[in-house]
Amino acid sequence: MSIDLNKLKTIAKTHKTVASGYLNHIKSNVNKYKIREGDNHIRILPPVDKDDFWGFDVKVHYNVGDNKGSIICNRYLHKQQCPLCDEYDKARKKNDEALSLLYKPAKRCLVWVLDLKDPSKGVLILDAPSSLIDEILLHSESKKTHEIIDVSHPTLGREIWFERSGTGKLTEYKNIQIDTEPAPIESHILAKIKPFTEVIINRTYEELKQEIYGTSSVKSDIDKGLDPELEDDDLEIDNIKNKFSKL
């Protein structure tokens, strides 16, 4: 069975790699933080399954199958074969810009947070664009000493403010502010944090192929989500992340 390239070219031209408003790479029983237009006020929480950087980097393919769903990229996360990345490689070799944009995975970062504008929501997963995480990381490093503030630390972590404007590829995150005073987290909140691997939906190569062809018998797990942003690797940000393992 082959993929209908003409159909996918049409989708690529229509959607311009902006997500269709559905999210099914995170389980539906996980409470999610939706970034507000305008002011946001959060406290990043420490991960329970990592001892370095507080975020969980993933890549996500959007507009997958008839449901226009989203899936975790197996090539990036598990170093396994990914049918969408296979098609992305083929499109690049053919210099097909439309298909390349369609198949290219978006860099995302999963982070546990508290919504300090509404703490009653409890522990939430933030499925963040890498541009937002990059800004927070840059503001976490002292320009003078190059020391890192671990904003997720249980007792020494900090509250964070930022603003969002625009949508899709025009989205901007600005006015990032990290509080100068620690904001300790109570133990009962820390106890509710789960490993990142327990909240994402993993699919096998065969399941992914079924999703692409629109004939999947796998039960859909769809929720409304956020628009992805496509970005390249940033060496400066990677260097900052590496510093967390030395804290």
Of residues 68, 71, 84, the one with CA closest to residue 20: 68
pLDDT along the chain (247 residues), means of 10: 42 37 75 96 93 88 79 90 90 89 91 97 95 92 84 95 89 94 96 94 83 52 38 52 60
What pLDDT does residue 240 have?
56
In-domain check, residue 17: yes
Specify the CATH number for the domain of residue 135.
3.90.198.10
In-domain check, residue 247: no
What are the C-alpha distances in Å from 198 to residues 26, 125, 139, 179, 207? 9, 12, 29, 31, 19
What are the C-alpha distances in Å from 42 to residues 87, 91, 167, 176? 38, 40, 20, 11
Task: Give the number of other Cβ atoms within 10 Å of residue 100's Cβ.
Answer: 19
What pLDDT does residue 243 have?
59
In-domain check, residue 56: yes
What pLDDT does residue 9 have?
42
How far is 203 from 167, CA to CA, in rounded Å?
29
In-domain check, residue 184: yes
What pLDDT does residue 24 have?
79
What are the C-alpha distances in Å from 81 to residues 6, 72, 88, 215, 230? 24, 12, 12, 20, 21
What pLDDT does residue 211 have?
67
Overall domain count for the chain: 1
What pLDDT does residue 18 have?
35
In-domain check, residue 108: yes
List the domain range (segments joined by +) for residue 64: 5-230+237-242
Helix and strand totals (H; E) in the chain: 8, 10
In-domain check, residue 42: yes
Backbone phi and psi for residue 176, each to the nearest 5 degrees, phi listed first: -70, 125
What pLDDT does residue 121 have?
96
In-domain check, residue 164: yes
What pLDDT does residue 218 have?
41
